[in-house]
Amino acid sequence: MLAQTTEHLFLIQDGARYHTSKAMDLFFAQHQTRLTVCPLPAYSPDYNPIEYLWRNLKKRATHNKYFAEFSELMTAVDYGLTYLVQHPAEVLRVFGLYRAEFGLLNPNSA
């Protein structure tokens, strides 16, 4: 991106190890005049509402379950995702909880 523009860039990133490595720190330091790095908190569902859906999926499909084979885990996650596809009201409920928690509910909406 730096090669495609002369504008100052703001990079918002999570705390993945490859984002916080010494090589990346050096890169960011070398480009600090054109690049501002804004790290997200370690767990920030308020900035990433899909985390609410993933938490719901994990609770439904994998929480407190043992999977002897990786294929069993994949099957459980597939069933969980299929459930969410077949129950859109559940997805809306999960995002409604997010919206309510952060005061984003419109008084005229459910």
Query: Is residue 108 domain-resident?
Result: no
Contacts of 90 (CB under 8 A, 6+ apart): 56, 83, 84
Residues 16 and 59 in one domain: no
Residue 44's DSSP bridge partners are none
3 state SS of 63: coil
Q: What pLDDT does residue 93 have?
A: 83
Whole-prediction pTM value?
0.51
Query: Is residue 106 domain-resident?
Result: no
Q: What pLDDT does residue 23 have?
A: 93
Give the CA distances from residue 14 to residues 19, 30, 44, 95, in Å, rounded to whole numbers and listed in that order. 7, 20, 9, 21
Residues 55 and 97 in one domain: yes
Whether 65 and 71 have beta carbons less than 8 Å apart is answered as no
The total number of structural domains in the chain stands at: 2
Determine the structural domain holding residue 67 and report its residue range.
50-101
3 state SS of 10: strand
Whether 51 and 42 have beta carbons less than 8 Å apart is answered as no
Backbone phi, psi, residue 12, to 5°: -105, 125
Whole-number Å distance between alpha carbons of 57 and 84 = 8
Please report, in tens digits, the pLDDT of each residue of the chain (110 residues total): 889 999 999 998 887 888 889 999 999 999 999 999 988 877 666 667 777 888 889 999 999 999 999 999 999 999 999 999 999 888 888 877 666 666 665 545 54
Query: Is residue 83 domain-resident?
Result: yes
